Structure 1
């Protein structure tokens, strides 16, 4: 077994960090020190690989160094899956570029407080291993930015307590309404999945603000 289990029962969440290269230096301790959720199960893989950098956008990642993630997903069937990455400040513009879909083939990240970035996970694992109703997210921490790491840790603590995708959507619309709209729009456009509940949530929050 490559993962550590905290808590028990449903829902099941899987959080992974240290996915490639030296990212483990910036992200792994967040999961090493995480506490069990109040409800359900939390599985964590603090370090997937300290080896060569292979992008998670490359399908071969999950058939190679990322195989422990696939084994955990197949064994646990989590409804919430989170990847924790890190990035250099010089790459911020490229990662959040509105034209990233045309440049890199995937939607741009949304920028949260303290330059924490939020987006979907790579299309290979999202499409092949998770149903549409699952919550699959990537958080990117800016390297050498202590506030970015602290804020990401706070967000991870919130996500680990969510019991469903809908609860996280409610949180996002409450704190980051514009980013939530962008993430949902990009998700639907990129994956071609219609999620009526997400549309309902968007309308409901809009009514609440009136």
Structure 2
């Protein structure tokens, strides 16, 4: 997939290299050009892209490298307005993809967590701080990812992350709907586990889990309590752990040590739903 087709519906910032590609000066080339070129042709040479950029546009460079270079080292705004620009730290594996603000006004509780995160010590970390701030559409809806969440799918297809994390938020009256013991029977997916400070842990939508990830990938969904600073702080600490995690098995061992009851429930639910770990 060519990264030029990645949609910037919420403002994904293009890399500095792309912004400057239209104004490359080649004075030496102009001086040595043949006299038969008209002045108009010489002037137009200022807008010629470098050969490296041309190679990228033709797909001669791998799509994954191009995707990294087009989003790496961009700065995210520090104010509170929704910011959809992608940022990528690093260029090696394992690749971790964290996304927030997936629908409705969830960005108010989740987007800021990705703005403040620092680079990992190893591997790569890709951040999409805002997916969509429009109408709420559940990620359990099969139309969500192909439409509202299409930038997530494109990032997954390009980066092939080993670790994929979604940040959501919920209102108190919906706690039972998310973490109630009958969620599997009522909604068709396992209930979330309650971690700490109102933060819930579960798997991502089976629609995206089954279609885009191998079984050994780590795919997690966190739900934060809306308006809770304690939830945000705890979620931020979990993200600090996850940005350094190397694999699914390493995270399972971490959970068994730190949150044994929740780890046991999550693994049982996963086995019951997917049939294997």
Structure 1 and Structure 2 fold alike (TM over 0.5): yes
Alignment of 1:55 onto 2:138: yes
Tell me the equivalent position of 2:219: 136
- Name which of 107, 113, 118 aligns with 1:24: 107
- Name which of 267, 273, 276 aligns with 1:184: 267
- 1:142-190 per-residue CA deviation (whole Å, 9 max, x = no partner) reads 0121111100110011011100011111110011101101111111111
Whole-Å Cα distance in 2 between the matches of residues 69 and 159 of structure 1?
19
- 1:109-137 per-residue CA deviation (whole Å, 9 max, x = no partner) reads 00011110000000100000000000000
Deviates more, 1:46-55 or 1:3-12: 3-12
Larger relative strand fraction: 1
Tell me the equivalent position of 1:41: 124
Q: Which aligned pairs between 1:1-210 and structure 2 lie closer than 5 A?
A: 2=12, 3-192=86-275, 194-195=276-277
**Structure 1 residues without counterparts, runs of 5 or longer:** 196-210
SS where residue 156 of structure 2 aligns? helix
Tell me the TM-score normalized by structure 1. Answer: 0.90
Q: What is the CA-CA distance between 1:88 and the residue it aligns to?
A: 0.5
Whole-Å Cα distance in 1 between the matches of residues 222 and 242 of structure 2?
11
Whole-Å Cα distance in 2 between the matches of residues 89 and 149 of structure 1?
15
- 1:13-62 per-residue CA deviation (whole Å, 9 max, x = no partner) reads 00000000000111001001111100000000000001110000001001
Q: Which has the higher contact order (CA 8 A, sep 6+)?
A: 1
Tell me the equivalent position of 2:57: none
Whole-Å Cα distance in 2 between the matches of residues 44 and 188 of structure 1?
29
Whole-Å Cα distance in 1 between the matches of residues 274 and 135 of structure 2?
29
Between Structure 1 and Structure 2, whose CA radius of gyration is higher?
A: 2
SS where residue 182 of structure 1 aligns? helix
Deviates more, 1:79-88 or 1:91-100: 91-100
Whole-Å Cα distance in 2 between the matches of residues 95 and 53 of structure 1?
16
Task: Give the paired residue count.
Answer: 194
Tell me the equivalent position of 1:199: none
SS where residue 63 of structure 1 aligns? coil
- 1:63-84 per-residue CA deviation (whole Å, 9 max, x = no partner) reads 1010000000000000000000
